[in-house]
Structure 1
Amino acid sequence: MKKAIFLLILFFGFLNGTSAQSFTDVWTPKQLMETKILSDKIQQNKMKNTFVVNIGPDAVIKKSFNAGAAKDAKNLETLKQYLKKIPKDKEVVLYCGCCPFDKCPNIRPAFKMLIDLGYKNAKLLNIPKNIKIDWIDKGYPIN
């Protein structure tokens, strides 16, 4: 009986561990862009080779394209169609900002698609909390 209980505990512990690992980041730390860097590029009009795409509920950042929330397949398709116009060596910066990274349903599918399509300079804007705290409250450029 003790062995059966031990095996059950071990089994449920394994299930819990694997489910926690299934929501992993698809980007590297090197692929994160700090908000200050993007803000400076926008303010200094150095956006010629940088394309900023909102993949969340609203395009807040100045000069960004609104693909819509990437958790929806139709918005992922909108993003894919938009990306067809952008050479794969250009810097493409995705952002959401709806919630903290670990809870965001939009950034992982969109960033994975960007990588899978072969974009060499893919970036994710580092918005760890939300767009209000990490962009708007800092006075960075908005639409």
Structure 2
Amino acid sequence: MEKKSFTFEEIKLKLVNYCVYQDRCHAEVEQKMKEFLLIDEAKEEIILYLMKENYLNEERFTRSYIRGKFYIKHWGRNKIKMNLKQKQISEKLMNMCFDEIYEEDYFKTIQRIYEDYSSKQKGLQEYQRKSKTIKYLMSRGFEYEKINDIFD
């Protein structure tokens, strides 16, 4: 199937809609642009336009990503960080945006997941259940120190 060709304005509109549908980061927009055969100058112009018109806002993206992955998917900070790194979000911006997660909510979430998961581990010694549950929480991206806080 041959690629349909679009005008510059059509491509720009498609990318505006892509950003309006859901917050995007630069890496996602650049990936999306690969569908259209654009010269570098055109890509640059579109990125600048999207930023200028606030369709593309890396901080807003990072904040909504952190909120969603924690409050909806219940991921820990480590997993969120790893995924944001893959999206080429800077460490500095990440750290600035982690205030989207309230410490108390974080603690309660670890506690809740711990209790839920632990209660499903049948026929295990207490220490086995504990270590299995800690492993599970760490795989969800929660920090070992934070998990340990629930035992104090």
TM-score (norm 1): 0.27
Structure (1/2) with the larger helix percentage: 2
Does 1 or 2 have the higher relative contact order (CA < 8 Å, sep 6+)? 1
TM-score (norm 2): 0.25
Structure (1/2) with the larger strand percentage: 1
- Work out which of the two has the higher radius of gyration on C-alpha atoms and give 1 or 2: 2
